[in-house]
Chain A
Amino acid sequence: MSSDILSFIIFLPAIVAFGLMLTTRDVNTIRNIAFLTTTVILALVLKIYIEFEPSAGMQFVTNVPWIESYGIHYYVGLDGFSLTILMMIAVLIPTAYLLLWEGKTKGYWINMLLVQAGVTGTLLSLDVILFYFFWEVMLLPVFLMIGAYGFGDKVATTIKVTVYTMAGSLLMFVAIAYLGVAYHTEFGEWSFAYNELVKITTLDYTTKVWLFLAFLAAFAIKIPLFPLHTWIMETYKNAPTGAVFLLSSIMAKLGVYAIVRFMIPIFPEIYVEFSIYFVAIGIFGLVYFGIAAFMQDDIKRMFAYASASHLSLIAAGIFSLNEYGINGALYLIIAHAISTGALFLLVGLIHEQTGFKTMKDLGGIASQAPVFTFIFAIMLFANVGLPGTNGFVSELLIIFGIYEFNHILGYVAATTVIIGASYMLWMFQKAILQDRPEGSAVLKMRDLKIKEIIAFIPWVILVFLMGLYPDIFIDKFEPTVTHYLQDILHIGATK
């Protein structure tokens, strides 16, 4: 049973979603059952988190044939790295439900459940084809959510985001097929399991570079890395709050995760060789998106850029080839998911209540909604990396990592992180603290309800707990990172 627990976690939301789709039309029932499902999943994930043995590699593995003729297996399992992200997803989603509680339709909740199945599946699959399967499937509910519940020019946005991300995925698909064929040619049998594909030796250098880039296309679009970011502004601006939350806090992280899970083991030498470019691109993205965020008046767009900026930093950390950088990137994945997720949800609340989402229209929220402002401030500080919050720990680690990787880039990274702080605080002051200009009516904004405050409590605790005692969390995934560095990349761990 314990080995099937992962499959249960993956498919429970999907089964519940289909069951609800067919049986009931009552939105409240659907929402309550959906919420219950996510809490059940949270409980299961907690159980896994406790039982997990950090030093033991892949655990809770299920490996059964799916399409035997092509050696495709239903192969799921987790290590310290995926466990951390799984935990993050399991915590984030139920709380997001509490914040999205009112005024949604049946389709909204069903899609939320389906997304959860998709992202969990993506996270846990160890067979590349299975991974691709979930990777594509998780996009479809988001596609429906943006199109059906979005704002503005939503249909064009939907088509754009779909074609954009599918283009990346399909390029990855060719690369997957190519790897499968290479494995078949070399060993005489088919396999798409990631730990089998690692054994391929026949690929020459140029081919590997192309395959590497094809894989990267899929992940870099999702993250997004500069210059493949052009889809996110419109999407984040026009998408409903739930979809933005899912895209920014969860799916973008899966892009980073997939780089570590599949690209590092399969193309270690290319990864090492190209890392300098990607650290540079990451830091460039950090600066570029930071400046772009400065220019925005629409808060959602601003957060979109801010999120891209942070993700570029995460990518830079991932490519920095040492324990500080990778640990920090992993840590920032969690920290950023919490703070950005919360900020998007809070801005969603502002938008719902006041009808505005641009800085020039907003103002005076602090006096209307003090608790709201308080939580907003905490999340904002975590996002910009104030000491004491989880953002600080992770950004510090990444900057150490980049510094060790390349001194000059390290200096650049250290000095440019400040950009993020400046635009965020500026926005906070203009939109939340400062009163609206004279002559305009005071905005009506209710404060958070008890339910919403309860939802935020675990996040707030996490922000500080992760900020003050990072070791409890890092211990869970550090052995995995060390394993990656020593056994796969053959670089001594530098700690």
Chain B
Amino acid sequence: MSEFIYLIPALTVLIGALVLMFMSMYEKFKTRDFIVVSTVFLVIALGFCLAKFTVFYSVIPFSEVINNVLIFDSFSNYFNILLIVGTILTLLIGEHYFQHRSFFKGEFFSILMFALFGMMLLSHANELITAYLALEIASFAVYIMVGFNTENSKRVEAIFKYLVLGAFIGSFYLLGVVLVYGATGTTNLTQIGEFILTHTGDDMILVYIGLTLIFFTFLFKIAAFPFQSWVLDIYRGAPMVITAYMASTFKIAIFSFFLRAILHDFAPIIDFWDTIISVIIIFTLIFGTWLAITQNIVKRMLAASSIVHTGYLLLAFIALSYKDGMIINIDSAYATMFYLLAYLLSALGSFGLASHIISETNVKVTYDDFKGLSKQRPFLAAMMTIFLFSLAGIPSTIGFIGKFYVFTEAINAGYMGLTVLAILATIVSVYYYFKLIAMMYFYPPKEECISEEFNDKRVSTYAIAFVAILTVLGGVGSAIVFFIPVMNIDSIIELTKIAVQSLFILR
């Protein structure tokens, strides 16, 4: 029983997904009921995760059944919390949007829960095939959700592109697994790690090739160069809420598995990819920035800027290095985890807010449509400003602290040139984020966008305000808001440390 407690969060989500599926068979449930039920399940799961938030542990429960393929440790717990929080906030922020769109039927929420289940599993995965299964559970759920937008003709393009490309890149992964298995005779990460430690030279060729292929999957899923171009069309065609979900939560899930693999098991050979990653960072930053400034549609701009943020995250990744049997610059792993949290909040906030704004009407999509928002809905405009500040890395938001860590660690590892490039990308990003702020504040509203009928006292607005408060608290930290211990910047860093260190508990 004591081992069973570790499984509860994931199982709760799974049961929730099944319950929602059964509920969707009955006509009498309304969208609102589905939101409530899924939120209840998520909150229960979150409660169990939070109970172990500060605990330093690493266990493999029911090892004879689960057979070492899943690990439950502080690391996965940290990511589970991020993922569940991301999903809850997506649901709550999207509450308005869900109710104003006829195509969100009950099964949508079931699929959302399945997606979350896949992601949570991914953060626990300690074996390549398991990771693939978890990834595909999540991916397929996301493919379906992308296609939900029956009002938008772009959705066919979006879902088709995403499905085909995703399946294609999935085959890279499988080929990689096969090659790694050919060399090592196992797909278990721990055993592969042992193999890597004890072999050199020719034995390793297949491992290198296989892992490089797996690495490509990673790059595709996080939308790094050269796999970035799908992002814009897919984010454009997907329902806005799902775009928010993909840009924030799904990306984090991908990072969870690859961080685990890289930090714990593939650590001895991570420097092999340094050159490749450097090049990828350079192009990711340049292409992302270029795409972002050329966009006229806010959703696409945010999507493109998420590519730039991928570049920053990879910058923390490359700072990891291995020497004399241990990872040096382990701090940059904390920086990555912190940045993921910061990015989760700001991306979810900005995308979610955009979806909230367009939920009554379809017009608020281009920069022009945001004109005069501050006059009509000053509260939402102020929240949007906070999120954009955070994305741009302006001090007093959590985005600034995140950037500070990432850049400091990158410099610490000696990647001065890349950091300067990232800073240049940030300078340009100030332009495209502030352009939106200028639109909201400095222009009179457009005629066709003026709508009198809105009600700011609803769940979505409160959820957005909550995220905005977290964003600011995370950036101001303990000196002023010492009375909220969890959002103290130091304790967040402490939590990321616990999470990362739990990977190295000997079992």
Contact = CB atoms under 8 A, between A and B. Distances in A.
Interface of A: 64-70, 74, 129, 132-134, 136-137, 140, 143-144, 147-148, 154-155, 158-159, 162-163, 166-167, 170-171, 173-174, 177-178, 180-181, 184-185
27 contacts: A64-B479, A65-B478, A66-B489, A70-B408, A74-B479, A134-B395, A136-B395, A137-B394, A137-B395, A147-B441, A148-B441, A154-B442, A158-B434, A158-B442, A163-B431, A166-B430, A170-B426, A170-B430, A173-B404, A174-B411, A174-B420, A177-B404, A177-B407, A177-B419, A178-B411, A180-B408, A184-B412
Contacts of B441: 144, 147-148
Q: Which of B395, B419, B434, B477 has the most CB of A within 10 A?
A: B395
Contacts of A177: 404, 407-408, 411, 419
A162 B430 contact: yes
Given A170-B423, A178-B416, A132 B395 contact: yes
A137 B408 contact: no
Contacts of A162: 430, 434
What's the dominant secondary structure at chain A's contact region? helix
Contacts of B408: 70, 177, 180-181
Contacts of B389: 140
B407 A133 contact: no
A170 B426 CA distance: 8
Nearest to A68: B490
A424 B438 CA distance: 35
A68 B394 CA distance: 20
Contacts of A185: 412
A147 B479 contact: no
B427 interface: yes
A81 to B, nearest CB: 24
Contact of A181 (B412, B426, B430, B479): B412
Interface of B: 389, 394-396, 400-401, 404-405, 407-408, 411-412, 416, 419-420, 423, 426-427, 430-431, 434-435, 438, 441-443, 477-479, 489-490, 493-494
Contacts of A170: 423, 426-427, 430
Contacts, number: 90
A167 B429 CA distance: 10
B395 A159 contact: no
Given A66-B477, A181-B411, A174 B442 contact: no
B490 A69 contact: yes
Contacts of A140: 389, 394
A136 B442 contact: no
B443 to A, nearest CB: 7
Contact of B434 (A66, A133, A159, A180): A159
A64 B431 CA distance: 35
Contacts of A68: 490
A155 B439 CA distance: 8
Chain B interface helix/strand/loop/mixed = helix
A67 B401 contact: yes
Name the residue among B389, B441, B442 with the largest chain A CB count within 10 angstroms: B442
Contact of A158 (B411, B416, B438, B477): B438
A181 B389 CA distance: 25
B228 to A, nearest CB: 23
A163 B427 contact: yes
Which of B401, B408, B435 has the most chain A CB atoms inside 10 A of its CB?
B408
B209 to A, nearest CB: 35
Contacts of B395: 132-134, 136-137
Nearest to A136: B395
A166 B408 CA distance: 18
A167 B424 CA distance: 8
A159 B478 contact: no
A340 B442 CA distance: 28
A67 B490 CA distance: 6
B423 A136 contact: no
A64 B435 CA distance: 37
Contacts of A136: 394-395
B401 A148 contact: no
Given A147-B441, A155-B438, A159-B438, A171 B431 contact: no
Contact of A173 (B423, B435, B477): B423
B443 A155 contact: yes
Nearest to A62: B479
Q: Which of A144, A147, A170, A171 has the most CB of B within 10 A?
A: A170
Given A66-B478, A174-B420, A177-B411, 15 more contacts: A64-B479, A66-B489, A136-B395, A137-B394, A140-B394, A143-B434, A147-B438, A148-B442, A155-B438, A159-B431, A159-B434, A167-B427, A167-B430, A178-B416, A181-B412
A106 to B, nearest CB: 11
Nearest to B489: A67
A178 B434 CA distance: 27
B438 A129 contact: no
A166 B427 contact: yes
A155 B400 CA distance: 25
A181 B406 CA distance: 12
A174 B404 contact: no
A67 B431 CA distance: 29
B400 to A, nearest CB: 8
Interface centre among A174, A178, A184 (most CB of B within 10 A): A174
A382 to B, nearest CB: 35
A178 B442 CA distance: 37
A73 to B, nearest CB: 8
Contacts of A173: 404, 407, 423
Closest 10 CB pairs of A and B: A147-B442, A133-B395, A66-B479, A74-B479, A69-B493, A177-B408, A181-B412, A167-B427, A166-B430, A136-B395
B441 to A, nearest CB: 6
A158 B443 CA distance: 13
Contacts of B434: 143, 158-159, 162-163
A158 B489 CA distance: 32
Contacts of B411: 174, 177-178, 181
Contacts of A159: 431, 434-435, 438
A109 to B, nearest CB: 16
B210 to A, nearest CB: 35
